[in-house]
Amino acid sequence: MTNVRRSHGKGAGKARRRENKPSRRKAGQQPLRSTPKVSLADPPRVIAQSRDVQRLLAGIGAPPPTVFKPDAFQLEALAALEFEDVLVTAPTGSGKTWIAREEIRRLLAAGRRAWYTSPLKALTNSKYQEFIEEFGAERVGILTGDRKENTDALLIVGTTEIYRNQLFDSLRGGGEVPGRLVVLDEAHYLADEDRGHVWEEAIILTPPRIRLLLLSATIGNASEFAAWIEDVRGVRCGVVTRPGARPVPLRAAFLLPDKRLMPLFNDAGRLNPEIARMAETTSAKPPRSPRRNW
C-alpha cells in the first residue's frame, strides 16, 4: 500500500514530466528571476512562470465532466457488507461515504434501521443535512449533545459518544439496540487520546448481529485492527483498501514571501535543493521575533 501511495507522489509526477520535457535542466539550477509584483487591488492574473513552475502547475484545472461510476473498491466493500463487518481505509475524499450511503439506501428500502456515527457535532450536522436531502426528512433523525430530532427515524445520525451511551442504556435496561447496520465514520478516532476509548467501547459492545462498517483514514495497521475486531466480536471483518493513492493526484509546492512558487520536491523526489539552501542560510541567524500571540 505504502509503496503505491508513495510512488504516486513522484512516479506520477515523473510520468507527467516526461511528457513535456523540453530540457533536462535540474530544479534548483534555474536562474532567479525578478519577482513579479501583484498589488492587492489587481485582478488575479497569471504570474510569469519559470519552467519549473510550469511543470508544477501543468494540467491544473477541471477535467471534462464524466458520468459518476463507482470505483472497484467501493463495490467490493458494498458486496462484502452482505456477509461480514467491513473496515474501509482510504484517503479522505475518495468516496468512503458513498459506500455507507448505498448500504443505508438498501436497508431503508427494506424498512430496516441503521445508525451513522461521526466524531464531531459539525460533521454530524452536515451528514444529517446530506441524508435528509438523500432519503427525505421523515426517514432521518439526529442525536447529539445539542440536538435531538426525529429520534424514532429509521436512520439515526449522531456522535459516537451518544451511540456508545445507547449501548450502555440497552445493556442496563435489557432492551436491544435496534438496527442492522452501524457506520463508524472517521474510525481512526480510536487513536484519539481523550476520546478514543469511546470507539473501542462502541466496537466491543455492539451486538454481533449488527453489521459494523468502519470508515477510516489510511492507517498503518489496518489488518491488525480488523483482526482485533474479529476477536472481540466473533464476526469476520474484511479490510477494503483503496488501491493506488488518492483519487486526485497531489503535488507539493513552496511559496516565498515575494510570491515566487517552487516545487517542494525535485525530480528525484527529494526536497528541492534551492529550498534546502534557503533554510540553511536563514537558520544561521534565527529570528528572535516571538510567535504572534493572537
Partner 1 sequence: MKLSMPEMLPATLLAALGGYNLLPAIIFLPTRRRCDQAASEAAFARRDPNVERHEARREFMQGFVAEHPEVRGHRHSDTIIRGGVASHHAGHIPARKLVRDKLMSAGLLDAIFATATVAAGVDFPARTVVLMGADARTGSGWRMLTASELQQMTGRAGRRGRDNVGFIVAAPGLHQDPQRIAELLKAPPDPLVSQFRATYTTLLNLLDAFGNFAQVREIAERSFAHREAAHHITRLEELRFENENKIKTKLQNANCDLSFSVALAFERLVSARARLQEGLPQTRAEVLHRWLSEVVQPGRIVGIGRSGKRLVMVTQRSQGNVSGIREDGRRASFALERIGPVYAPVYRLREQFIEEAFAEVHAKGRELVIPEPRLRDVRTEESDALNLIDQIIESIAPAHLDATKKTACIEALWAAIGEAEAIQRTSRQIESMREEVWQPFERRARVLAALGYVDFDRERVSERGRWLADLHIDRPLLVGEALENGLLASLDTISASATVAALTADEDRDYGELELDDRIVSALARFEDIGFKVATEEWKQGVEPAPEMNFSAAAAAARWAGGADWSTLVNETRAE
**Strand ordering across the sheet containing 114-118:** 148-149, 140-143, 155-159, 114-118, 181-184, 211-216, 85-89, 237-241
Q: How far apart are CA 181 and CA 100, in angstroms?
A: 10
Q: How far apart are CA 210 and CA 158, in angstroms?
A: 17
Closer by beta carbon to partner 1, 93 or else 243: 93
Closer by beta carbon to partner 1, 83 or else 256: 256
Residues in region 215-234 near partner 1 by CB under 8 A: 216-221, 224-225, 228, 231-232
Closer by beta carbon to partner 1, 60 or else 109: 60
Query: Could you say whether residue 292 binds partner 1 (CB under 8 A)?
Result: yes
Closer by beta carbon to partner 1, 48 or else 79: 48
**Which residue among 21, 26, 33, 197 contacts partner 1 (CB under 8 A)?**
197
Stretch that binds partner 1, among 20-28, 74-82, 101-109, 192-200 (CB under 8 A): 192-200
Residues in region 7-26 near partner 1 by CB under 8 A: 9
Stretch that binds partner 1, among 21-29, 77-85, 101-109, 195-203 (CB under 8 A): 195-203
Stretch that binds partner 1, among 75-83, 106-114, 152-160, 256-264 (CB under 8 A): 256-264
**Which residue among 14, 17, 106, 251 contacts partner 1 (CB under 8 A)?**
251
Neighbours of 204 (CB within 10 A): 13
Q: How are beta strands 155-159 and 261-263 bridged, if at all? A: unpaired
DSSP for residue 265 = B
DSSP string, 111-177: T--EEEEES-HHHHHHHHHHHHHHH-GGGEEEE-SS-EE-TTSSEEEEEHHHHHHHHHHHHHH-PPP
Residues in region 123-162 near partner 1 by CB under 8 A: 123, 125-126, 129, 147, 161
